Amino acid sequence: MSISVNGNAVQVPDDPRVSLLDLLRDGLHLHGTKKGCNQGACGACTVLVDGERMLSCLSLAVQFDGRSITTIEGLGEPGALHPLQQAFVEHDGFQCGYCTPGQICSAVAMVEEVRRGVPSHVTSDLNSNVIDFSHDEMRERMSGNLCRCGAYNGIIDAINETLKEAAE
């Protein structure tokens, strides 16, 4: 029974009550992933599960036996930042930084969802697989990540920057 966390095999906790979030923070001391509300309302605990964004607070670690988790620490580290981490620094994508790991993990998967053609609440043509990275699409798709400091404009700028770089 093991979960891959940032490429390392990790033992599934014996007690099934341990949430994925508590395994990451208390068990593995990966403190990047944050506990904002512990009830699904803020997005601070967002991690990637086999590349898809999910909330680590609303699930039990044992549910992820056999799956691959990437946390903010696995995306990049000082000296080798993920392009989106770098863009957050350059565009003031945060103030206190508490929501930031969740924002970044969420945005990385969000971009993949758009590329895959997953529709959103503001997508007008459901029969098209080509979705614009419009301002409205981005705001709607990032609405599961709250920022109490209101750094939203910087967050959207940072995401736009990496999209532009990727397109070049």
Ligand X SMILES: Cc1cc2nc3c(=O)[nH]c(=O)nc-3n(C[C@H](O)[C@H](O)[C@H](O)COP(=O)(O)OP(=O)(O)OC[C@H]3O[C@@H](n4cnc5c(N)ncnc54)[C@H](O)[C@@H]3O)c2cc1C
> Nearest distance from residue 70's CB to other proteins, in Å?
14
Write the CB contacts of 51 (distance below 8 Å, at least 6 apart in sequence).
70, 109, 112
Structure tokens at 35: 């506990």
> Which whole-number Å values give the CA distances from 34 to 111, 119, 121, in the listed order?
22, 28, 27
* Binding status of residue 16 toward ligand X by CB under 6 A: no
For residue 163, the surrounding DSSP H or E stretch is helix 152-167
- Interface with other proteins (CB under 8 A), residue total 37
* Binding status of residue 94 toward ligand FES by CB under 6 A: yes
Write the CB contacts of 143 (distance below 8 Å, at least 6 apart in sequence).
none
Instruction: Residue 107: name its binding partner from ligand X, ligand FES, other proteins, none (Cβ under 5 to 8 Å by kind).
Output: none
Query: 24 to 53, contacts with ligand X by CB under 6 A?
Result: 40-41
> Nearest distance from residue 27's CB to ligand X, in Å?
22
Q: What residue ranges bind ligand FES (CB under 6 A)?
A: 35-38, 40-45, 55, 57, 94-100, 147-149, 151
Q: What residue ranges bind ligand X (CB under 6 A)?
A: 40-41
